[in-house]
């Protein structure tokens, strides 16, 4: 068996939801061993989280700079680190590790500002280390099936892209009630200039580009903060113009009562259409023009994409497994890098996807300030 990857975390303390998701995803294939961490912004909470996760106290750090410096010097120092912090810390935390050749797996969006994203991109370019961005929905088997069908020409030239991601958890001002996840996501100092458009709009935008292979050239965005006093948008409507003439529409909302996690993508080409919904992730609907609608299921008839299919047909597979596919394929790249290779990311989102997402948020904010004027990305 290939030795487990010595792995660290910045952020994602023992009580953090997304930190737990990353740890579960990394453990599913038993490819990583968590050996170090700077798990919180305060020394006391960092030490407590390290103890709760069974880390050696000597490798539980008060800050990520100290962690990067010491781990790079240790004979058994970490090979990879996950950055699982609020957005405004991503660049500052990732860069010290990249400079020391330590591979980085970073939560999305890439950063809180486009300027920080470009700074991080320069660090990635100068480093021999890998950089992976956890747009986990790209790890879903049926999403990859949809991408393969578009690449194969099953839809013909793409004409229309419809993507939406509604939630309802910020319908009221829960950020004022002590809910930690809401506090930082509605704070422009920590989240960045985009609220819902940065948090979930980037997922929708990334999904549309991943499946279709198209890049957006211009957009017009109408961002709104419906909850009184909220500093960042909680709803966004975005029209997109893609290269080659395709048109798109993106809706993201965190004030849509009854919507839990309604990520959905519909793609229409000259010869057919595809429809996929995250809340029913094992089904992909394909409709060739003029023919009956066809249901393609994971591992069922018509399923051709093998990357990521883990369990027998009919068993639910989704969020954690999609995350695990990102970690498993990142592990393959890290193991290859042990031998001196520097493979490309393949299907894994990397720095380019992160920069594209931040350019999207930046353009949405600029457009919305100009009354939904068309702007270039």
**CATH level 3 topology of 5-129:** Rossmann fold (3.40.50)
pLDDT confidence of residue 312: 76
Query: Which residue matches tokens 């453990």?
Result: 27
What's the CA gap between 130 and 366, in Å, rounded?
A: 32
The answer, yes or no, to whether residue 308 has pLDDT greater than 80, is no
pLDDT confidence of residue 307: 61
pLDDT confidence of residue 315: 78
pLDDT tier for residue 310 given thresholds of 50, 70 and 90: confident
Domain 5-129 identical in fold to domain 141-310+357-376 = no
What's the CA gap between 37 and 1, in Å, rounded?
A: 25
Q: What is the CATH number of domain 141-310+357-376?
A: 3.30.360.10
Q: What percent of the chain has pLDDT over 90?
A: 89
The answer, yes or no, to whether residue 1 has pLDDT greater than 60, is no
Give 3's DSSP letter.
P
Kind and range of the H or E element at 24? helix 17-28
Stretch 344-355: mean pLDDT? 93
The answer, yes or no, to whether residue 15 has pLDDT greater than 90, is no
pLDDT confidence of residue 306: 66
Stretch 190-210: mean pLDDT? 97
pLDDT tier for residue 311 given thresholds of 50, 70 and 90: confident
pLDDT confidence of residue 299: 78
pLDDT confidence of residue 304: 78
pLDDT in tens, 156-173: 999 999 999 999 999 999
pLDDT confidence of residue 340: 86
Q: Mean pLDDT for the chain?
A: 95
Q: What percent of the chain has pLDDT over 70?
A: 99
The answer, yes or no, to whether residue 36 has pLDDT greater than 60, is yes
Stretch 197-218: mean pLDDT? 98
Stretch 281-290: mean pLDDT? 96
The answer, yes or no, to whether residue 283 has pLDDT greater than 80, is yes
Phi, psi dihedral angles at 237 (to 5 degrees)? -115, 125
247: preceding bond cis by omega (within 30 degrees): no
- Token pair belonging to 23: 């740890």
Stretch 364-371: mean pLDDT? 98
Its pTM stands at 0.94
pLDDT tier for residue 313 given thresholds of 50, 70 and 90: confident
Stretch 240-254: mean pLDDT? 98
Query: What are the residue ranges spanned by the domains of the chain?
Result: 5-129, 141-310+357-376
pLDDT confidence of residue 47: 95
State how beta strands 272-277 and 235-242 pair.
Answer: unpaired
What's the CA gap between 169 and 357, in Å, rounded?
A: 23
Contacts of 97 (CB under 8 A, 6+ apart): 64, 68, 81, 103, 104, 129
């Amino acid at each position: 068996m290939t030795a487990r990857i010595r792995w660290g975390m910045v952020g994602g303390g023992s009580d953090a939801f997304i930190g737990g998701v990353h740890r579960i995803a990394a453990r599913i294939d038993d490819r990583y061993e968590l050996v170090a961490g700077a798990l919180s912004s305060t020394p006391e909470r960092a030490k407590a989280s390290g103890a709760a996760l069974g880390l050696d106290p000597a490798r539980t750090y008060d800050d990520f700079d100290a962690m990067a410096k010491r781990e790079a010097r240790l004979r058994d120092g970490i090979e990879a680190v996950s950055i699982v912090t609020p957005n405004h810390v991503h660049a500052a935390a990732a860069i010290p590790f990249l400079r020391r050749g330590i591979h980085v797996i970073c939560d999305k969006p890439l950063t809180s500002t486009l300027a920080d994203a470009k700074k991080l991109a320069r660090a990635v370019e100068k480093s021999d280390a890998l950089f992976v961005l956890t747009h986990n929905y790209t790890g879903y088997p049926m999403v990859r099936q949809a991408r393969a069908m578009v690449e194969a020409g099953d839809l013909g030239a793409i004409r229309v892209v419809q993507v939406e991601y509604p939630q309802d958890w910020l319908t009221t001002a829960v950020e004022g009630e002590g809910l930690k996840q809401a506090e930082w996501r509605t704070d422009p100092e920590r989240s960045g200039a985009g609220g819902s458009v940065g948090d979930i709009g980037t997922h929708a935008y990334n999904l549309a580009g991943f499946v279709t292979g198209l890049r957006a050239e211009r957009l017009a965005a109408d961002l709104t903060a419906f909850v009184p006093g909220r500093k960042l948008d909680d709803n966004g409507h975005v029209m997109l113009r893609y290269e080659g003439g395709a048109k798109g529409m993106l809706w993201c909302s965190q004030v849509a009562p009854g919507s839990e996690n309604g990520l959905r993508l519909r793609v229409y080409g000259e010869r057919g259409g595809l429809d996929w919904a995250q809340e029913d992730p094992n089904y992909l609907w394909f409709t060739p023009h003029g023919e009956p609608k066809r249901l393609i299921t994971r591992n069922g008839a018509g399923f051709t994409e093998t990357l990521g299919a883990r369990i027998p047909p009919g068993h639910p597979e989704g969020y954690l497994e999609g995350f695990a596919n990102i970690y498993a394929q990142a592990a393959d790249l890290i193991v290859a890098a042990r031998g001196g290779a520097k493979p490309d990311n393949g299907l894994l989102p990397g720095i380019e996807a992160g920069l594209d997402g931040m350019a999207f948020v930046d353009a949405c904010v600029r457009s919305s300030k100009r009354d939904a004027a068309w702007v270039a990305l």
